[in-house]
Chains A and B, each alone.
Chain A
Amino acid sequence: DQQVKQNSPSLSVQEGRISILNCDYTNSMFDYFLWYKKYPAEGPTFLISISSIKDKNEDGRFTVFLNKSAKHLSLHIVPSQPGDSAVYFCAASESRNWGKLQFGAGTQVVVTP
């Protein structure tokens, strides 16, 4: 039972433009949401998180938006850079224990010059 869904397996965006990655979830008990980035042959690395009491969190070029009523979150990357080309995973947790995460299937982002 997939509780976290990323319905876009891939996204292509031009350098300098905005990348928008979407994620939907079904479990209303999720309290924390995280985004990870993964390069080939490396483990996922943490990007940004948001708790369920907020609707926006920003860190440099990365902003995550949470819409609890729609059970939807999105990651905005502005401006997109070639080094952002990677697989992005949305993840969620029912508690502050970020070691027990439910992940989506990932979105492959390709940033073209």
Chain B
Amino acid sequence: ETGVTQSPTHLIKTRGQQVTLRCSSQSGHNTVSWYQQALGQGPQFIFQYYREEENGRGNFPPRFSGLQFPNYSSELNVNALELDDSALYLCASSSGTGGSNEQFFGPGTRLTVL
């Protein structure tokens, strides 16, 4: 059974650019949550997707958007990148009804904005 995978592992962007991060959920999981972890902080909830629909959002501006595909993989898009967007982005997948079961995290994508 393949776990949660994320791509790319690292990337560097400049301020104002746009970025797309990808997450493949664990087999059988229908829910994906995205988190941002700044240096020295805990993960902060961005949003969750359940069966291709957004199922809750944290305190992040609209330039953070997402998608979930029929195979339950997911993308996180960030427009108009700012320096403060530099962080580790984690996705987590789970089964059940909208995150009601244990979630499994991927290793994360390290984004650096210059």
Contact = CB atoms under 8 A, between A and B. Distances in A.
A6 B80 CA distance: 32
Interface in B79-112: 90, 92, 94, 98-108
A99 B16 CA distance: 30
Interface string A79-104: 00000000001010000111111111
Given A41-B107, A100-B33, A105 B100 contact: no
A36 to B, nearest CB: 8
A42 interface: yes
B31 interface: yes
B31 A99 contact: yes
Interface stretch (A13-21, A43-51, A61-69): A43-51
Q: Which 8 A-B pairs have the closest CB atoms?
A: A43-B105, A99-B99, A103-B42, A99-B33, A97-B99, A103-B43, A99-B48, A105-B42
30 contacts: A36-B105, A43-B4, A43-B106, A44-B90, A44-B105, A45-B105, A46-B102, A89-B42, A97-B48, A98-B99, A98-B101, A99-B33, A99-B48, A99-B55, A99-B56, A99-B92, A99-B94, A99-B98, A99-B103, A100-B33, A100-B48, A100-B56, A101-B43, A102-B45, A103-B42, A103-B43, A103-B44, A104-B42, A105-B42, A106-B42
